[in-house]
């Protein structure tokens, strides 16, 4: 189990995390479906989790990994509220596209 003892080089993980985060960030801006937008946010949060864990591992420090738990919990709570609002919107309109949500403008 020697590979567990030596902290790995975090660079590769961070590059992957940045890559995943960018997919999520761009996807959020490009896609119009509210549920896909939620998925993109999840992707971003999980990229953050990956980078937190790999930084924590490289630094031999636990606090980064502890933060990951909180991120998971908060992400679940956020999606819950989001889906609840989405269901309320679905009851009125049978679609959940961001283009439909354009009654507010100045």
Q: Are 96 and 82 in contact (CB under 8 A)?
A: no
Residue 76 contacts other proteins per CB under 8 A: no
Q: Are 19 and 48 in contact (CB under 8 A)?
A: no
Residue 25 contacts other proteins per CB under 8 A: yes
Radius of gyration of the chain (CA): 18
Q: What are phi and psi of 6, to 5 degrees?
A: -90, 130
Residue 20 contacts other proteins per CB under 8 A: no
Residue 27 contacts other proteins per CB under 8 A: no
Tell the smallest beta-carbon distance from residue 14 to other proteins (Å).
Answer: 7
Eight-class DSSP state of 104:
-
**Per this entry, what is the length of the chain?**
106
Return residues touching other proteins (CB under 8 A).
Answer: 4-5, 10, 14, 17, 21, 24-25, 28, 34, 37-38, 41, 44-45, 47-48, 51-52, 55-56, 58-64, 66-67, 70-71, 74, 77-78, 81-82, 85-86, 88-89, 92, 98, 101, 103-106
């Amino acid at each position: 189990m020697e590979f567990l003892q030596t902290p790995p080089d975090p660079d590769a993980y961070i590059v992957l995390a940045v890559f995943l985060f960018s997919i999520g960030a761009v996807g959020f801006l490009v896609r119009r479906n509210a549920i896909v937008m939620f998925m993109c946010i999840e992707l971003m949060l999980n990229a953050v989790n990956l980078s937190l864990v790999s930084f924590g591992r490289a630094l031999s420090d636990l606090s980064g990994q502890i933060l990951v738990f909180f991120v998971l919990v908060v992400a679940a709570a956020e999606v819950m509220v989001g889906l609840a609002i989405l269901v309320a919107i679905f009851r009125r309109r049978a679609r959940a596209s961001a283009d439909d949500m354009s009654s507010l403008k100045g």
